[in-house]
Structure 1
Amino acid sequence: MDAPLMRMLVTRPEPDAQSTLARLAALGIEAVAAPVMVRQTLDTSLPPADGFTAMVLTSTNALRALDERDMLARYRHLPVFAVGDRTAMEARAAGFDRVSSAAGAFADLVNAMTIARVPGPIFYPAGRHQSADLAGALAPLGVMVATAKVYEMVAVEALPADIVAQLGGGIDAVLCYSRRTAQIFAALAGDVPVDRRRHLGMLCIAEAVAEPLLEARFSRIALADRPDEDAMMALALAFAREQTGP
């Protein structure tokens, strides 16, 4: 068996972190997970499904939160607009029959809904911390959005000591999947020396994710071609091969 190409750190929450570790291992890349956020389901009041024309999903965490509250059945009859293919796949697995994927980022989702001329009102189960405003984006179209904050991603207080030590030497790259993840990681990795930050590869799913890392003086940034897991795996493999050779 070939030796691992290098060692990477996965910062995304569970259970997604384990899926990413498995995919990296299949590429011959050794990796370790240190999620910087933990999901908590919120006991928010949820609206009845009557009257909604569709449901929007920008994260699989919304599905998980609804499932934990045993509320998925209430909304399964609604067509679903998902931000990406992974979220769409999870929605289908959860029993939703009419699911479409914008196959991209938030702007792609808004564009897809604009083209579809969804009349509204729309149900949007979301996280407490939102990186974009769906209601504001659809307001010019006259589409009403009912947002219910069904989960919260809570930042961990510290990285494990062994991970901090490896960031000083041993971990070659860090995978970041959201802007908030990058912000939290940058804060938790404050003791990593500046010269080390210049050499540590930061693999980001989008340009917006890289911005807080650059502000924290992590300067070796690489961006995925698309905001999805397949593109992140391609980025990780390309980065590893660049460092170690084919």
Structure 2
Amino acid sequence: MHILLTRPLEDSKDLIMRFKELGHQVSHLPVITIEKKDYEDPNYNEFRGIIFTSSNAIKNLDISKINKDIFCFCVGNATEKIAKEKGFQNIFTAEGNVSNLKEIILQNFDPKNGNLIYVSGELVSYDLDKELKIEGYYVKRIINYSVSSIEKLSDEFVGQLKNSIPEIVFIYSENSARSYLNLLKKYNLIDNWMDTNLMCLGEKSSAVLNEIKWKKIFLFNPGEEEYLLYKI
């Protein structure tokens, strides 16, 4: 099968290699770029819990001053994996959904236990910090990265895509979905996907791309990509 991956290369290279080992054709179209933002380091000793709604939040954070035994709340498995690699020990993980993450925090962290710090990108689709404050938590938010859309493709890549439309496309965020949709419109590719299966990380991502006619739409969690190939 021909598979199109849309995450930045750092997040896609292992999957690209795995799919190629399985005999699939893989195209790579990173639709967003991640840019680190300057932020002021807080006194981490004032916090008993830390929240990550993206693996990029961890990758762009100086964790040298953070006690790795702190309560660590991650939005999904991909974020949990990076947290473990960085040394965090006391991890609680949702299944890729920020509203579920809120419930996990409510169940496992009493606001009387101390303060929370929330590390995220500039744009979020769910105001987790505000929701937690309503529940009586003290939450400090740090913004340590921003997301920019890719706005131009090479003529060579567009030609290759038109000649061989992938059977599967993976989309990992709402921002990625918007960027992907804009690229398809810009290069007159909007009507080419009737035989393509769309794999989306969450309903909000798939909703952005509902105006395109797909063969089927599947929702998935990070780590399920290979499994999904056998559902088609």
Query: In 2 relative to 1, CA 122–185 (structure 1 residues): closer, same or farther, beyond 3 Å?
Result: same
- Equivalent-residue separation in structure 2 for 1:18 and 1:237 (angstroms): 21
| Percent of residue pairs bearing the same amino acid type | 25
Contact 1:12-1:35 at 8 Å conserved across structures: yes
In the alignment, what sits opposite 1:142?
A: 136
2:63 is the counterpart of 1:72: yes
Gaps of 5+ in 1: 1-5, 240-246
**Partner residue of 1:212 out of 208, 211, 219:** 208
Count residues in correspondence.
227
Distance 1:219 1:171, change over 3 A: closer
Selected match of 2:124 from 130, 133, 136: 130
Structure 1 segments of 4 or more deviating over 4 A? none
Structure 2 vs 1, CA of residues 151 and 26 (structure 1 numbering), >3 Å: closer, same or farther? same
Query: Is the 1:158–1:188 Cα contact (8 Å) retained in structure 2?
Result: yes
Matches within 5 A, 1:1-246: 6-66=1-61, 71-77=62-68, 78-119=70-111, 120-172=114-166, 173-190=168-185, 191-215=187-211, 217-224=212-219, 226-230=220-224, 232-239=225-232
Q: Over the residues paired in the alignment, what is the CA RMSD in angstroms?
A: 1.9
Alpha-carbon distance between aligned partners in 2 of 1:203 and 1:166, rounded to the nearest angstrom: 21
User: C-alpha offsets along residues 75-113 of structure 1, whole Å, 9 cap, x if unaligned?
Assistant: 234221111222122112112222222233212211111
Amino acid at match of 1:94: K
User: C-alpha displacement at 1:176, in angstroms?
Assistant: 0.6
Report the Cα distance in structure 1 between the residues aligned to 2:73 and 2:190, rounded to whole angstroms.
Answer: 42
Q: Partners of 1:86 and 1:193 in 2: how far apart?
A: 30
Change (3 A) 1:100 1:195: closer
Change (3 A) 1:157 1:194: closer
Kept in 1: contact 2:97–2:202 (CA 8 A)? no
Deviation at 1:148, TM superposition (A): 0.8
Cα offset, 1:138, TM superposition? 1.2
- Contact 2:3 2:25 (C-alpha < 8 Å) held by counterparts: yes
- Secondary structure at the residue paired with 2:177? helix
Give the TM-score taking structure 1 as reference length.
0.84
The answer to whether the 8 Å contact 1:175/1:203 transfers is: yes
Q: CA deviation at 1:19?
A: 2.1
